[in-house]
Amino acid sequence: MRLDPQAIEALRILGQVLAENGRSFVLIGATVPWLLLDLRQGRESGSRATYDMDAAIETETWEDFNRLRRRLSQAGFQLGSAPHQLRFGEEVSIDLIPFGPGLVQGDRLVWPETDTVMSALGLEEAFECAIAEEIAPGFLVPIVQIPGLVLLKIIAYKDRPEERARDLTDVVYCFEHYEEEFETSRRFDLAGFVVNGRELQFDDAGAYLLGNDVAKLAKPKSLIVVKKFLEGIPDEYARPIGQVLAEEGLVLNNERRRAELFQLFRVFAAGLHDEEISHRG
């Protein structure tokens, strides 16, 4: 299964319009694990094969953002009811997140039309780590890499934990499948490695590597948010773990899965901490 041709066309037009105006974008959101993990490894994508996409776009001011929206409307998009929403055709939608120094106030974006407030942390890192990936023959799209995606999703969850539980399931999915390719996986380099008093298993090693890579990527303020998030998971009965169980459609007394989730978050935290110590050294 590949990305739907209509979604590809929407991204093609988005890239063209932004390039004409000297702007760039990076694909973020739930589509990314599907593109970078599932398709590469030949897995069925399930709900991740979505027609709903998210893109962070480079803009200077809110006036600039609105001008780009009008230009995209002229190029075939339909404007949604909210200022960040665009639709293309019958099924494809793209949420645009503007990012630029003229928009960010105190590390936050305040949407002028709705007074909606969201954290802008992690967006700079998303642009920095983006790599142009081929999503159709000869068509490259800049996509945030998995460490940048995990960083964004943890920040988004911490910003609005009641609304963003779904982000946690994407984070866990990345823990479970990051660097999983059998022949080239860095997980094998961790054979015999001890984390939190126990030998690291292949199934947990992706979370540790992600902790390393997020620590390398994150700016100091973003890293503080990640640490505060992890401090809120002191045991397997912490609220985020219950939210993941609920999102996965599992009963809250599924103790085996609860323990697995807690272990993944602990291993991720250890990787984050170890890379920080290594970097300081």
Q: What is the CATH number for 125? A: 3.30.460.40
In contact, 14 and 61? CB cutoff 8 Å: no
104 C-beta neighbours (distance < 10 Å), count: 17
User: Which of these ranges, 22-31, 57-66, 106-115, has the smallest mean pLDDT?
Assistant: 106-115
Residue 140 lies in a domain: yes
The answer to whether the CB of 240 falls within 8 A of the CB of 212 is: no
pLDDT of residue 43: 60
Q: Give the chain's mean pLDDT.
A: 90
Helix, strand, coil shares of the chain as percentages rounded to 5?
A: 50, 15, 30
Q: What is the pLDDT of residue 248?
A: 92
> Tell me, what's the pLDDT at 159?
95
Which residue from 85, 69, 56, 81 is spatially nearest to 21, judged by alpha carbons? Answer: 69
Distance (Å, whole) CA 189 – CA 177: 16
CA 172-99-115 angle, 5° bins? 90
Q: Say yes or no: 176 and 81 in one domain.
A: no
Statement: residue 90 has pLDDT above 90:
no
Residue 41's pLDDT is: 66
Q: Are residues 167 and 239 in the same domain?
A: yes
Per-residue pLDDT band at 47 (split at 50, 70, 90)? very low
Please report the pLDDT score of residue 161 as a whole number: 94
Number of domains in the chain: 2
Residues near 261 by Cβ (< 8 Å), separated by ≥ 6? Answer: 172, 236, 241, 244, 245
Range of the domain at 194: 161-280
**Any residues with CB less than 8 A from the CB of 62 and at least 6 apart, and which?**
98, 102, 103, 112
φ, ψ (nearest 5 deg) of residue 97: -110, 110
Average pLDDT over residues 204-212: 96
* Per-residue pLDDT, 42: 60
Answer whether residue 20 is part of any domain.
yes
| Residue 174, domain member (yes or no) | yes
In sequence order, which ranges of the chain are alpha helices (DSSP H)? 5-20, 31-33, 62-74, 123-129, 146-159, 165-177, 202-217, 220-231, 239-247, 255-280
Bigger pLDDT: 252 or 260? 260
Asked if the model's pLDDT at residue 165 lies above 70, the reply is yes
pLDDT > 80? residue 109: yes
> Looking at residue 16, what is its pLDDT?
96
Spatial distance between the Cα atoms of 150 and 140, rounded to a whole number of angstroms? 22
Residues 203 and 140 in one domain: no
Q: Integer distance in angstroms from the first to the last C-alpha of the chain? A: 45
| Mean per-residue pLDDT, 246-274 | 93
Same domain, residue pair 124 and 247? no
The amino acid occupying position 230 is L
Question: In this prediction, what percent of the chain has a pLDDT beyond 70?
Answer: 93
Share of the chain above pLDDT 90, in %: 72
Range from 38-42, 65-69, 139-143 carrying the lowest mean pLDDT: 38-42
Is 25 within a domain? Answer: yes
What pairs with residue 119 in β-bridges?
108
What average pLDDT does range 41-58 have in this prediction?
70
